[in-house]
Structure 1
Amino acid sequence: MAPTHLMHRLNGIGLPTRAGRGTALMELAGQLPATVLSRLLGLHIGTATAWSQEAGNTRPGYAAEVARRALRKNQ
């Protein structure tokens, strides 16, 4: 099923797709760095950066957290 067809069907039964998409994107933008968000979702880096800033993403420690997880996993 094409994404637009699914969107129209969901909207037709009262499920607003745009709000859900925005909420999901804001949640991801708050948890991931803009470069990861950009590559993961295929967004332009400027768009991903704007979403991250809007979400209040101040996670400079993201890379360090990923490294810690890798260390714990290998132990």
Structure 2
Amino acid sequence: QQFDTNMLEILVCPLSKKPLRYDPEKSELVSDELGVAYPIVNGIPNLIPEDARIVKKPVEAQDNGTEETKGQ
């Protein structure tokens, strides 16, 4: 079964509460905000956080190379 993309209007990431992006090649709904992908099984999105896979580090968690404690 195919995922109904009209559902993107009402579905959000259960963790960030932000919109999800559909990846048809991998059959996943991706939270770009958190960097996680939720699988779609038989056309039904599985939005259980424990079943999601990490696709990248969230922007906030990436080390930008600065330390606030330098020179103290």
Question: TM-score category by the smaller chain?
Answer: under 0.3
Q: Which protein is richer in helix relative to its size? A: 1
TM-score (norm 1): 0.25
Give TM-score, length-normalised by structure 2.
Answer: 0.26
